[in-house]
Amino acid sequence: MDQQRIDKITEALYNYSASVIKEGILQYTSLEELLELSLYPIERTAFRAAWAAEHVLLANNNSKITFYKDAIISVYSKSNNWSVLRSYSKLVMEYLTLTDITQLNEIEFESILNKTFDVLENSECPIAVRCNCYDILCLLSAQHHWIVNELRHRIQLDLSINETPALISRAKKVTKKLERIAKT
């Protein structure tokens, strides 16, 4: 994508309200361009593109997520921008909810798994991203039971460090799901 096109899309992302972006961003850019810009080196541009892509992909009963799974997994795996990862961890979580996890090939599975554990290992990880990562690992654990114990330990460690209401709430929900998975 050339710089002039990037500048035009960036202007639309920066200048319009959330409601306009959610409902009309595709008048200014394509979903493919938003996915590409989610890895842009200017953090604000990457964040706005990721946020817009998230809202476009989650519209209409998540009907586009499966079609764009390769791009979603790619951005999720490559990004180190917490704002971008907030949107893309949610997209990965939604994708895994919608699909049969056995349909993930080994590379996709490993990519999601490695990135998710890497994110959780980072002490700078924001709570919203951390909570989404719990759900991602919980969803993967239904097919790979060894993740259950790893995730339980991770949640316990996180709670011993930082007991925020959001973290406690999500940890309880995920722990209940893990108990059901462990029984199967």
Structure tokens at 11: 């202007």
Instruction: Please state, in angstroms and rounded to a whole number, the distance separating the CA atoms of residues 31 and 140.
Output: 27
Burial class (CB in 10 A: 0-12, 13-18, 19+), 146: exposed
Compute the distance between CA of residue 47 and CA of residue 13 in angstroms, rounded to an integer.
10
Residue ranges per structural domain of the chain: 1-84, 100-184
pLDDT of residue 18: 65
Q: In a 3-state reduction of DSSP, which class is residue 42? A: coil
Residue 73 pLDDT class (50, 70, 90 cuts): very high
> Dihedral sign, CA of 155, 91, 47, 21?
negative
Per-residue pLDDT tens over the stretch 118-177: 999 999 999 999 999 999 999 999 888 899 999 999 999 999 998 889 999 999 999 999
pLDDT of residue 139: 96
Query: What pLDDT is attached to residue 23?
Result: 64
Q: How far apart are CA 148 and CA 154, in angstroms?
A: 10
- Cα separations (Å) of 178 from 30, 97, 107? 38, 15, 24
Tens digit of each residue's pLDDT (9 = 90 or more) over 76-109: 999 999 999 999 999 999 999 999 888 899 999 9
* pLDDT in the model for residue 48: 93
- Kindly report the number of other CB atoms within 10 A of residue 120's CB atom: 21
Structure confidence by residue, pLDDT tens digits, 22-64: 667 888 889 999 999 999 999 999 999 999 999 889 887 777 8
The predicted pLDDT at position 11 comes to: 86
Question: pTM for the whole thing?
Answer: 0.91
Nearest to 66 by CA among 107, 38, 117, 108: 108
Confidence of residue 70 (pLDDT cuts 50, 70, 90): very high
